[in-house]
Chains A and B, each alone.
Chain A
Amino acid sequence: MKERWGSRLAGELGQAWAIMAKDVRVYYCQPPMLMFGLLMPLFIFLSFSVRRELGADMSIAQLLTIVTFFTASSTGPVIIPLERRERTYDRLLTAPISLWTLVLGKIAVGVFFATLVSLVPLAIGVAFLGITLAAIPPIVGSILLATLTFSGLGVCFASLPGQSVGSIMMPSTLLRWPLLFVSGVFVPIDEIAPVWRIVAYVSPLTYTNEIFQQIFAEPAYVCPYGNIPVHQPTVGRTAAIPLVTSIVVLAVVAVVFVLLARWLHHVTRCRGA
């Protein structure tokens, strides 16, 4: 008997939600998740931000970039190999759910986790550094877009047929660390060598960084000094890419990563790995 598409869609969404809720319960407090998703971005930020003359707003923007990038892209490479090792991933593959649902459920885990972690620097900024969030929707929207993109990237890596976190995390790290240094997070794009600048423009992290930097530089969104509606320019900061361009590019990349993740997992499944 054919199932109606509306019913099927509702059912699949319910299943994706169930996968996400289960992963939240099972994996969010696992040591690899805390290591790769929480402590590592924090230490990276501290390592490269100490003694730099950044305002509170720009520090938080930078931290958000690092957190959304590292945390979201770590969940897939942590959770899926662990599930493969415990054979619980087979349970998902033999259930009557589409691969789309499975992939979207896994991406949602990363989005949810990274968004939660991203709220921490925001809360610190508001509570202790005198920052006022004048317009929350653009900030939250940017976080969601960035986490969606990088969670998709992480799930792409997780399609590699490995049963240990290290076997997936190693190639993932090989890509993520260089991107961190050529995407304008620590060194502005216009200060890096021209050849690396080309790489910067194909890196989604560049656009994420631009979005957060520009949102936090815009008084209409974030007031860096309490309620004073006057923006104090942060040292060394100029917009390299228009905000709208960055959002559009990141959205396109997010869609590409989601499609790619689904395709890669399909290939892996066909190979039976």
Chain B
Amino acid sequence: MTHYETIVLSQAASRPLPDFLQAPGVGSLVVEGSNVVVAREVPGLSLEAETISDGVKLMLILAPGVRVAKPMHLCIGSLAEEGIQRIVAEFHIGAGARIEFIACCSFPNAVRLEHVMEGLTFVRPGATLVYRETHYHNGIGGVRVKTRSQVVVEEGGCFLSGISMTEGRAGSMDVGYQVDVAANGLVELVAKGRGYGDDEIIVREDIRLNGHGARGLAKSRIAVHDTARCEVRSTLSGNAPGARGHVDCVEIVSDDATADAVPLLHVNDDRAQLTHEAAIGSVDRKELETIMSRAVDERTATDIIVRGLLGDGLPFEHGLPAVQAAPDNVHSVPAIEVRQLTRDYGQLRAVDGISFSVETGEVFGFLGPNGAGKTTTVRMLTTLLMPTSGTALLNGFDVVHDSYQARRQFGVVPEDSNVYRELTARQNLYFSGRLYRLSREERESRAVELMTLLGMADKLDVLVDTFSRGMRRKLTIAMALMHRPPILFLDEPTAGLDVPGQRSIMDAIRKLSAQGTTLFLTTHQLEEANQLCDRIAIIDRGGIAAIDTPDGLRGLLDDLRVIEVVLRPCPLGAEESLAAMRGVRTTKRTGSSLQLGTADPSSVLPALVAFAEMNNLDIVSLNTRGPSLEEVFLHLTGEAPEAGDEARPARRRRRRCSEGRIR
């Protein structure tokens, strides 16, 4: 048996190799100890390997623009029982190129073996590198792995890395990443591991989001048993406007095992948005009891839950993250593109030739008063309604002429939680999975994963009829996410929820956004849109009144500043007196606060102070601010967002624009 076969077979002992890796035309590199056993290039990929004293030095260069269709196989391991194997590797992925590596690190005989990996990776502009690595360390844990990788993701580049160590004993694993991400770049680091005995799993990640719109996710799922130990230190730095990142650590401990998780966020630009969550604990008791009620002992039940948490395959095996689902389209095709979309109901034109586009990974808010055409637009985008004219494309698929493919691109969370109350949460999720043709294994693992994500893991087998409104809302979101849609339509996601429920849903939305899902959010909650959306479109009478960032929309009312003053006492009729002041355009009372709209606060303030003195009023507080999003909304549409059709006041003049500014 050759070294190659031995290593590959060792790997296969834990998991059958995918057929495509053995197919002709697939690039592969097999390293055993200090020997390069197989080095098979593919067109566009240059592979250099040099033996060094205790290992191998590798250089892989993918030429710009080359998109390697089939994943390349890397098998790096050692059949020795002891010693050291050092791998020094450099990866250069040329601009616009794309490649995926499936790597296995196998040490079937290790007793006292050390594996050291030093990596340097450059992902050039618009390039994509997907790296999936699975470890097999035999059952005695005699291997010590230490990897240190430095990655540079340039503008619009994408680096997805997943490391999995879930079979056999981990031994000692110390995984380290330092990633710098430029504008509009994406990085996603996923680490999954399981340790027994005295195993030690250490994950150190440092993601620096240096460019505008850079996105990053550090996700770890680790379970330790017996006296094993795990430590996760994830550092995320938001150094540029529009940078978005998320750290997500879940560690499960049992027996005398210990775990540490330290998510560390640095926000160096106030327009960056970073979030984190860390959960360490034992297996959820209710979930455990639910599974044990099926005549399963506690250890097996724990194993089922942990397997559900870790997933049952390579990272990204069930599909790449949303942003990468259509890698050829990532940088060229908008997630949503609408051109001159029109819908008539008889003589009534509900949507009047609207055009806009939503970029991949963007959170796009769609606001408007009732009857403005929001629902009609969303129904056309989700293939529920045929447009009268115009086109709408989802990831390049036409919603009319290629509706079958278009429907695979999105999930929908409607305003009403459309779950089946007569079924359990699990049955609901499984049904949703079957509609999208997920395999049984995918359905099972995805259901557990999503319910864990939404904090309802213990409700999987509970009848939905007993759920609160917030829980049904979460389940609706989970059902929409079963098939990992690249685009998610959310209609009033927090409507009718209490404050904790709203916060929990908004956190979930932020997480999805950080993972690269494109979100199309329809809402009446302007503050919600302000917090969540990268851009907002305001629709009125079937036409787009404005599209811009929340700040940009507020900038539309440059000539409107607001003075907020609290007077004590605040006499009745004060608004009328203040409205008569020179320079004051509007007045409004909210509780004890009076708001004066003006183009020139500096000329109004002295008059205001004089007014207070003349009437023996104390000024308790006084401040000036720019217009709120609600005021912009009112200015554009002439009514409050919650107002019904019947109550619509006379509108201001109709404003229309294409992208960007009001004409």
Interface residues on A, range: 20 to 34
Whether B379 is near chain A, meaning CB under 8 Å from some CB there, is: yes
A-B contact pairs, 6 of them (CB 8 A): A25-B422, A25-B423, A87-B416, A88-B420, A92-B435, A269-B384
Whether A190 is near chain B, meaning CB under 8 Å from some CB there, is: no
Whether B404 is near chain A, meaning CB under 8 Å from some CB there, is: yes
Contact with B along A95-108 (1 / 0, CB 8 A): 11110000000000
Given contacts A88-B418, A272-B384, contact A96 B434 (CB under 8 A): no
Given contacts A94-B383, A272-B379, contact A22 B431 (CB under 8 A): yes
Complex CA gap A26/B427 in Å reads: 11
Interface of B is mostly: loop
- Point out the residues of chain B lying under 8 angstroms from A233, CB to CB: none
- Point out the residues of chain B lying under 8 angstroms from A272, CB to CB: 379, 384-386
Whether A135 is near chain B, meaning CB under 8 Å from some CB there, is: no
Partner-A contacts on B (CB < 8 A): 379, 382-386, 404-405, 407-408, 410, 412, 414, 416, 418-420, 422-423, 427, 431-432, 434-437, 479
Whether A18 is near chain B, meaning CB under 8 Å from some CB there, is: yes
Complex CA gap A94/B427 in Å reads: 19
- In contact, B382 and A26 (Cβ under 8 angstroms): no
Within 8 Å by CB of B435, from A86, A97, A98, A269, lies A97
Please, which residue of chain B has its CB at the minimum distance from the CB of A28? B422
- In contact, A87 and B418 (Cβ under 8 angstroms): yes
Whether A53 is near chain B, meaning CB under 8 Å from some CB there, is: no
- In contact, A94 and B386 (Cβ under 8 angstroms): no
Please, which residue of chain B has its CB at the minimum distance from the CB of A91? B418
A-B pair count, CB < 8 Å, reads 64
Within 8 Å by CB of B407, from A11, A18, A25, A95, lies A95
Contact with B along A256-273 (1 / 0, CB 8 A): 000000000000011010
Complex CA gap A95/B419 in Å reads: 14
Within 8 Å by CB of A96, from B386, B404, B423, lies B404
Complex CA gap A91/B410 in Å reads: 12
Whether A242 is near chain B, meaning CB under 8 Å from some CB there, is: no
Partner-B contacts on A (CB < 8 A): 11, 14-15, 18-19, 22, 25-26, 86-88, 90-98, 269-270, 272
Within 8 Å by CB of B427, from A14, A25, A92, A96, lies A25
- In contact, B407 and A94 (Cβ under 8 angstroms): yes
Q: A92 to nearest B CB, angstroms?
A: 7
Q: B313 to nearest A CB, angstroms?
A: 21
Within 8 Å by CB of B434, from A14, A86, A94, lies A14
Complex CA gap A98/B431 in Å reads: 17
- Point out the residues of chain B lying under 8 angstroms from A15, CB to CB: 434-435, 437
Complex CA gap A88/B418 in Å reads: 5
- Point out the residues of chain A lying under 8 angstroms from B420, CB to CB: 22, 26, 88
Complex CA gap A88/B416 in Å reads: 9
Please, which residue of chain A has its CB at the minimum distance from the CB of B489? A94
Please, which residue of chain B has its CB at the minimum distance from the CB of A22? B431
- Point out the residues of chain B lying under 8 angstroms from A93, CB to CB: 383-384
- In contact, A96 and B408 (Cβ under 8 angstroms): yes
- Point out the residues of chain A lying under 8 angstroms from B385, CB to CB: 272
- Point out the residues of chain A lying under 8 angstroms from B435, CB to CB: 15, 18-19, 91-92, 95-97
Q: A34 to nearest B CB, angstroms?
A: 14
Beyond known contacts A22-B420, A91-B432, A269-B386: 6 more, CB 8 A cutoff: A94-B383, A94-B412, A95-B435, A95-B436, A96-B405, A96-B407
